[in-house]
Each structure stands twice: as C-alpha cells, then as structure tokens.
Structure 1
Amino acid sequence: MTVSAWAPLRRSAFRALWLAQFASNIGTWAQTVGAQWLMGDLGGSALQVALVQTATTLPVFLLVVPSGALGDILDRRHVLISGQALMLAGAAGLMLLAGTDKATPSSLLGLLALMAIGQALSMPSFQAIQPELVSREEIPQAALLNGVNMNVGRAIGPALGGLLIALAGSEATFAFNTVSFLGVLIVLARWKRPSDHRPLGAEHITTAVRTGARYVASSPLFRRVLTRLLVFIVFGSGLWALLPAIARGPLQLDASGYGVLLGSVGTGAIGGAFVVPKLLQRMSKNRLVLFATWVYAAATSTAVLTASFPVVIVAMLLTGACWIATLSTFNATAQVMLPSWTRARALAYYQLILMGGQALGAVVWGAVADAYSLRTAMIVPAAAMAVAVLAATKWFPLLDRSLDISPATYWDAPPEIDDTYAGPVLVTVEWPVAKENEDEFIDAMQKVGRARRRTGATMWGLFRDTEKPETFLETFTVATWQEHLRQHIERGTVVDQQNQEAARALAKGDAHVRHLLFAEPKKPD
C-alpha cells in the first residue's frame, strides 16, 4: 500500500512542529537578508559583509558533531529547546539593537554567531526525533516534507525579507524571526516526549563523541549514504551559489525575476513531495537517485544553455523536485538504519557533510566561474555528477531492505565488579568450529566484529589456534567496564543479534567467554 505524501501531517506532534518550523525557516531566510542589509547600513566593509555568512555557518560546522553527542546523551527535547532559545535570544537582541540604532558590525556578527550555536545544537536532534514523531513506514514521507519545508522557506524568506526592509527597516526581519522561534518553543514545550531509557545513566560528552565517530567508521551501510551525499552535494551545490549570477547575467533579470526563479525551485520541491512516494513504489532507491541526479544535471545545465526565461523556469521546477527527491532519500535511508542510542551523533556527520559539501562546492564552482565562465561552472559539475552517480550506484549502493534496529539484549550477563570505570577491558570468545564451516564462519564473524566496534570496541580481531585448528579466538577491547556494560545493556540491536546467531549456528558447541581487566602495577611505596 502506498503511503500518502502527506500522511505524517496527520500526526499532531509532527504537524505542529512542521508548521512551526516552516515559519522559522521563512524567518531565518528573511533575517539573512536583513542582516546583510543592516551591515551595509552600518558602513561595514566588504569583508564584514562577507563575515555575515561566516558567522552564520562556521559555528555550526565546528559544533554540530559534539551537539549530536549531546542529543544522544541528554533529552533531545531539552536540547532542542536550548538551541531554539539561543536563536530566539540572538534574534531578539538584533531586533532591539537595530530598533534603537545601537547596532555595530561587531555586535551584529556576535549575535549571528550566537544564533548559529543554537542552530548547531538543534540540527542533529531535530533529525533524530523524526522516527519518534511518525511511524517507520512514514519516515520517507517525513523526510520529503521536511525538505519541502526548507526549500519553500528558502524561496519565500528572502522575498519577505526584502518587503519587510522596505516597509519597516531591517529590524522588522529580526522581529519576525523572533516570533517564529517562539512558535517552535511553544510546540516543543507542549510535546510529551517519553523519557529515554538509560539504565547506566548519561555518557560523558567526550566519550559520546568518540563513540559516535567509531560507530560511523564501523558502519559501512551508513558510510555509503554519506559518500553518496558528498558526491551529490559537491557537484550539485553550484546552482545555489551561482543562481543569482545566472539571473543577473545570461537571463538579464531584476530582483523580482530572481524571486520567481527561487519560487520555481520551491514549487518543484512541493511537486517532488507528491511524485517521489509513487516513484518509490515502482523503482528502487538507487534507480530513483540515479534518475533524479541525471535530470538535475540536465536541468542545471539548461539554466546556462538558454536565455529563454520560461525554459529556465521549467528547469528550476525540475531541479527543485530532483533536489528534494535525492536528499530526502538519503536522509530517510540514514534515519531508518540508525539505532536510537546513536542517531543524533551519527546524523551530525550527515549534517557536517551536507553543509561542508555546499560550502566547498560554492567556493570551487564560484572560482571556476570567475576563471572561465558561468557556463563552464555549471556544465562541468553537471557532467561530472552524471558520471559519478553511475560509479557511486555500483560501488556504494543504498540499502533497499529494512533493518531491525530495535533494541535487543542478547549477551549473557557479564560478571559484576566494584569499579565500573576500570579498564581497558579485554574480552575473549572461544569458538569451536567444524572444518567444513570455517570459511563461512570467518565471513559471518566480520559482521559480528563490526557490531562490536559500533557498540564500543576499540579493537577487534579473530584468530585461529595453531594447536587446535578447529578453535577460533575472538578478541576485542573496550575502554572501560562501563562501556562494556553499555554494549550488553543499551546498544545492541536485533540485527546485531541476528548476525551473532548466524555465526553461532556455524559453531559446533557453546562459545566460551572470558573478561580480563588491565593489570595496572601498584605504585612503589
């Protein structure tokens, strides 16, 4: 049965947050125009005008990974409220300073940086709560709707910002943004989120960051999503950076014409939200991304190959639909394969690549446009994207089947010790394996090893006993006994359990487990 593109909006919590976030996205883009305009009114230099963009992006890039860790070790609703409160404080400060003519270039940049810190706090947790707001079957549609939300906000916000500046000055954009954050805060305050189940308490932030990095490094399926995202973003982000130059240059448009181009992208994104669920009923994720990427490449090239405004409008409609189709597919794929205990910190890397890739692409293709031409800067990445997506589809295919990532406790209880922070811990598992099953067992254990590393092991290995060739010794180390307890109690999933059972089925007897603590020498008297 096809799930409606709008099905997530039937759920009250998702609908309320989506509508509040829609207003917030519009306010954010309107404020961007207001901030740039205010910097010009304050007599800011060209460098200071450019630093507006730096102040709004650099803190996010630097803080999104530790913010993802916070989203996993603290209540995500509280993290979101803290992030939104920081952004509200920054917008309100800008409103007051601009309204009382006390703003300076330094205070403007400082308050924008404060808002960026709030955005960094919010982004991973906002992505991580989506599976808590909708059913598993509705996650792709939720990802589509969130993408539509962002793209339509991007189209409407700048136009609204220009109108507000004309009517009441730049402080009006800051006032609108302040009110939009109030809406999000009210929705979050009213949301009755179930409390997290953490039998061992919260992790330390530095441990959580390391564990998140280890999870990403040991999850080849998630790394495929990150790789596909990077390929698409680096080659596809030139459109967003160069669209104003295309509007002013080959198309000879004024500001209203540029607004129509942005609106066309947003309209295409809305259309994509209708079409993508139906396409996914007829083709795999990989074919959908391949098809959407090719159409996106052709459409972005069209924007510099013709001076016909109607043709470019059609091309922008297609780019909006294909952009939302590709990114929502990546986002939904990531969300359904990440267990709750690490979802925010892993999705932080998704956001890092999304933002970093756009920044890198804008710089690279902007430099190409300056050195050669706009046409070169659009056609070269489009052609490279069309070729790269073929290779990426072959070497890094997206997972089409569903994984059961629900929590599972499947290890035998470890011995009890007094000092739970003692370590490092060495765990050995002796596996007796019949000769005819050896090759299959070694292959099965690779999945087990990745699960050990994802859940906390710093090293893992599988060894054959030279004196008893039918005995294999699995070894892995964990930093502390506390971390090993988390492997037992908090971090296991059903798919990890299935992989271990597959390996156990190839053994010819029970596995023998030993736990060893590092023998630290006593200090001399």
Structure 2
Amino acid sequence: MPVASSDPIQKENRIGAWTPMRHPVFRMLWIAILFVNIASWMQDVGAGWLMTSLAPTPAMVSLVQAATSTPFFLLAIPAGALADIVDRRRFLIATQIWLACCAGALGFLTLTGLTSSILLLVFTFCLGVGLAMMMPAWGAVIPELVPREELQSAVALNSIAINIARSVGPAIAGIIVAAAGSGAVFLTNAAFYAIVTFLTIRWKRNVAQSELPSEHLLSAIKAGLRYARHSEALIAVMIRGACFFIFASASWALMPLIVRQELKRGPDVYGLMLGCIGVGAICGAILMPRLIRLVSRDTIIRCASAVYGVGMLALAASDRVITACCAMLAIGISWMMTASALMTAAQITLPGWVRARGLAFFWIVFTGGMAGGSVIWGQVAGLLNIQLALVIASACLFIGIGVSWRFYVGLNDKADLTPLSHDWAGPVPRDIEMHEGPIMITIEYQVRPEDADAFIDVMHRLGEIRQRNGGYMWELFNDINRPGIMIEFYLIESMVEMLRQRERMTVADREIRDEARAYHNGSTPPKVTRLLSAINHRKIF
C-alpha cells in the first residue's frame, strides 16, 4: 500500500495549475468569484450603453466608469478593516445581498422607464460601493481554503476567472441589451449576485475565537496603516505593483482605439483580442506552478514584465490582426504571471489578523494604477499617437523594472505566519481597564561588545515587528552608566492593544525575537517592565 509522502518538496512538485479545484469549498467559491466578475462586467456594459441614450455626452458616459471606480479609493481600507474584525463569511453575504438589491432595483426602474441619468449614476456608485467592500474580503479568504503550497495556483485560478469574466461578461451583456435592453442586464446581474449569496451561505467557515474584545473600525484602520508602513515585504509588493500596473494599463486603455483606428476593424476583432488575452492568461496560469519551482517569484515578475513590454512594442508595430493577436497572447501570459505573482506575494506577506487590510492596499495600487494609467496613456495618445504612446509605456515599464529591482517580494515565502497561542505573562491588575493607556514597554538586554553590531541588526527587524503588531515610538538605547546594557523601548496605546500585540505574534516573529534574545549575556532573562501613564490615569495610584 503506497504511503503519502510528507516531504514538502515532493508535495510541492505534485501541485499543478488545477490542484486547488480538488477542494470543494474553493471550487464552490471560485464559481462564486466567476459569477461576481461576470456580473461586474455586464453592469459596466449595461450602464454605459444606457447612459448613451439617457445623456449621450462624453462627460456623462465617462462618469459611469468614475462612479464604479471611485468607491475603491474611498472605501478599500475601511472595507479591509471591517473584513478583518467581523466574520468574513457574514460580511461577504451582506455585501452580496446589497449588490443584488441594488442591481434588482436598477433593473426594475429601468424596465419601467423611471431611470434618469442621475439615478443611473447613483445606483452605479452604490454597486461600486458593494464591490469595493467585497474585494478585500474575497482575497483574504483564499488562504483559508487551500494549503499554503497551493496558494499560487489558487490565485492564478482566480485570475483566470477574472479573465473569463472579462471575455464572457461583455458578450452576454451585449446579447441581452440587443434582445431586451439594459434593464434586463441589471436583473440578470441581480440573479447572479443572488446565486453568489446562496453559494456563500453554503460555506461553513471555521472562525478562530479571541477572548479579547473586537477592534473598533477606526482602531482597525489605524492598525492596518501602521502594519503597511512597517512591512518591508508589503511595501515591496506595492512598489512593484505600481511600477507594473501604471504602465501596463496602456494596452488595456488603448485596445479599442487600436482595433478601430489602427486595424480598421470592428467589435468582432475587439472580442477576438480579448479572447487572446484570456487564452494567454490560462496558459500563464498553467505555467506558473512549474515556474515557481524553478525560479524565484521576483525573477518571474521581472521576466514577465519584460515580456509584457515587448508585447506592447509588438502591438504598436502591428498592422495586421494576426500579429496584434499574437501580441495580445503574449500580453495575456505575462499579465497573468505578473499579477498573480504579486497577489500571491501579498497573500503570503500578510498574517490572518490583518490580511484583508493589507490586500486593500494592494487593490488601491491595482485600481489606481489601472485607472490613473488609463487616463495618462489616453492623453499621451491624444497628444502624440497610439503607437508612440505604447512605445513610451513600454519604455517606462522597462525603467520600472530597473527602479523596482531592489524591492524583493519573496521575503516571506518561507516565513511561518501561524499565530502563536500563549498566555499572558503576568496578571492584569484589577484596577486597570482594557482601554487605559498608553503603556510603555522597556526590555533590558546585556550584550557583549563584540556582539553589539549583530544585535542591533536583529533588533531593527524586531522593532519593525513590534510596530507592525501595535507598538509605536520604538527605539533602542545604550545605557550611558552601564556599558553593555541596551534597553528596548516602545509604547502601546492601551492595555487591550498590548494583549492584541501578543495575540498577533506569529511563529516567524518569535524566531526573530528569540534570535535577538540569544545575544543576551545575562544570568537571568531580559528584564521586561510595563508602565502605565500616570498623567492620564492618576486614579490608579
């Protein structure tokens, strides 16, 4: 009887592009993500087409897209905070019910002839709010559904769903608009969201319980901002993402003009080029599990970005449909590899307690880069021409590869972000309430002179961890009167935040803390002192 190998390398070698589909919950929610994205693309087509009849001016038509994308910038971070402090399953169900109700109401008003241009923009904005609230939560649940070694394939499969939806959604919407009008498109969207709600309700999620009170929204947002500021790995992902998405958006933004003005063709060729991107994305997803075993994630991002730049140059030089389709195929492959590698790096970088908040920053970079880049390259194409705009975007993409070269996104590929479970090191005085603070922490180390430099290097990394997990004003001091004594110092907002900091510590954090403590040369463990502010809380004394 064969015995399953527990060797992680052998296990990783068996992972293919479709391996995550063997997990029923992932498969079910993958279908849900596909429906959500199809509905989103259908909404864009239906709303845009309806606006051309209600208020056929370029300004009003462009406001439809603005009403969809603006909520991402306004609400992504609060949405990520909410998804981290409430049950994500219930949060997703609530957002999908909101989307279904908004789409259904808009469909009813449109079919009854009551929809005006302003009302269309209001409902489009409301649907954008629902999508902005939902996306960080969807991304945050993926690591809960598959083992860590299958995460890259799972993210790639989600990207495939997005690309399928990008190809299928507008086509379905076009058929429905031609047959029954935009109102029927909106009602179809409502049905899709209702199906997604049903699928999400069927998901039985295991929730880790905490004995601490839930974070308040503003506190959770502040914690997310603090984590992003002090996470070198997440900052690297965002910089890499910005250097790619801003310039890669040129091909997406200019594709309709390339088809109409350069190739002199119609919507059939436009659909064909979208299909080439979809086929390329599927090919990229199939290749990713094999490539990730051969080269680093950073190498994949650099090479795929370079291929994308070459694809844009080929697209700029194309005067035939076949060459343009080949260019779009290369663009689809490299798009999938770069985007999924960046998303996976973000997922791996983030522990569970802050995952949705961290992904919200990634979504802001993504949507901001694509939206802002589209505006920039549209203006460049208007001032110069389409070919020059693509050439300049390609050149900037290569420059971006060089600029972001030193930012490594694979820093946490092997880090164990499993949260530690441990008890509080001492009793909490009864007369100190959970919200009271700030609290000052000092830790005294005795370090040999020859170990001082190495100790300081480790402490810099530990200081980033302290601040990511809730501390601020971190510093390391030398005791002037006692040579060899170094004192770590930082503040925490309140007693409950101090307890949360301990709850947020991961296995990887502990390894760095233990590495720092290994330099302690005292006969007893480092002395830890916790002091509560006397000025703000005199009643304790």
Report the TM range for the smaller structure's normalisation. over 0.9
Aligned to 2:434: 420
Contact 2:349–2:412 (Cα < 8 Å) also in 1: no
Aligned counterparts of 1:331 and 1:131: Cα–Cα separation in 2: 12
Counterpart CA distance in 2 for 1:10 and 1:217 is 37
Cα separation, 2, equivalents of 1:400 and 1:498 = 13
Partner deviation per Cα, 1:206-231 (whole Å, 9 max, x = no partner) = 00000000001111011111110110
| Aligned-CA RMSD value | 1.6
> What SS does the corresponding residue of 1:179 show, helix, strand or coil?
helix
| Deviation for aligned residue 1:523 | 9.5
The aligned residue for residue 504 of structure 1 is 517
Alignment of 1:1-150 (within 5 A): 1-150=13-162
Aligned: 1:195 with 2:207:
yes
Alignment of 1:69-468 (within 5 A): 69-396=81-408, 398-399=410-411, 401-409=413-421, 413-417=425-429, 418-468=432-482
Give me the whole-angstrom Cα distance separating, in 1, the residues matched to 2:307 and 2:28: 34
Most deviating of 62-71 and 294-303: 294-303
Equivalent residue letter for 1:176: T
CA distance in structure 2 between the aligned counterparts of 1:511 and 1:221, rounded to whole angstroms = 29
- Identify which of 505, 518, 521 aligns with 1:492: 505
Q: Is the 8 A contact 1:431 1:512 kept in 2?
A: yes
Q: What does the per-residue CA deviation read over 1:18-41, in whole Å, with 9 as the maximum and x for residues that have no partner?
A: 112212212221221111111122
Letter of the aligned partner of 2:531 in structure 1? L
TM-score (norm 1): 0.97
Deviation at 1:135, TM superposition (A): 0.9
Which string of whole-angstrom CA distances, capped at 9 and with x for unpartnered residues, describes residues 393-434 of structure 1? 234453374110001146861441331111111111111111
Question: In 1, are the aligned partners of 2:461 and 2:512 still within 8 Å (CA)?
Answer: yes
Residues 521, 200 of structure 1: alpha-carbon distance in 2 compared, 3 angstrom cutoff: closer
CA distance in 1, matches of 2:423, 2:521: 18
TM-superposed deviation, 1:257: 1.1
Measure the CA separation in 2 of the matches of 1:518 and 1:325. Answer: 51
- Long gaps (5+) in structure 1: none
Percent of pairs with identical residues? 36
Q: Is the 8 A contact 1:235 1:385 kept in 2?
A: yes
Q: 1:320-373 CA deviation, whole Å, 9 max, x = no partner?
A: 111010010011111112110010111110111110111111111111111111
User: What SS does the corresponding residue of 1:394 show, helix, strand or coil?
Assistant: coil
Unpaired runs of 5+ in structure 2?
Answer: 1-12
Shift of the 177–521 alpha-carbon distance from structure 1 to 2, 3 Å rule, reads closer
Query: CA offset at residue 390 of structure 1?
Result: 3.1
- C-alpha distance in structure 1 between counterparts of 2:77 and 2:236, whole Å: 19
Match of 2:7 in 1: none
Partner of 1:519: 534
Secondary structure of the structure 2 residue equivalent to 1:419: coil
Q: Secondary structure at the match of 2:521?
A: coil
Task: Report the TM-score, using the length of structure 2 for normalisation.
Answer: 0.94
- Indicate if the aligned counterparts of 1:465 and 1:472 stay in contact, CA closer than 8 A: yes
Counterpart residue type for residue 515 of structure 1:
R
Give the direction of change, closer, same or farther, for the CA distance of 1:496–1:95 in structure 2 (3 Å limit): same
Cα 1:94–1:235 shift into 2, 3 Å: same
Q: Secondary structure at the match of 1:197?
A: coil
1:118-172 Cα deviation digits (max 9, x unpaired): 1111111100000011111110001101111111211121122111111111112
Per mean C-alpha deviation after superposition, the further-off stretch among 38-47 and 285-294 is 38-47
Letter in structure 2 aligned against 1:465: D
What is the CA–CA distance in structure 2 between the aligned matches of 1:56 and 1:139, rounded to whole Å? 29
1:381 counterpart letter in structure 2: A
Mapped to 1, the partners of 2:69 and 2:120 lie a distance apart of 14
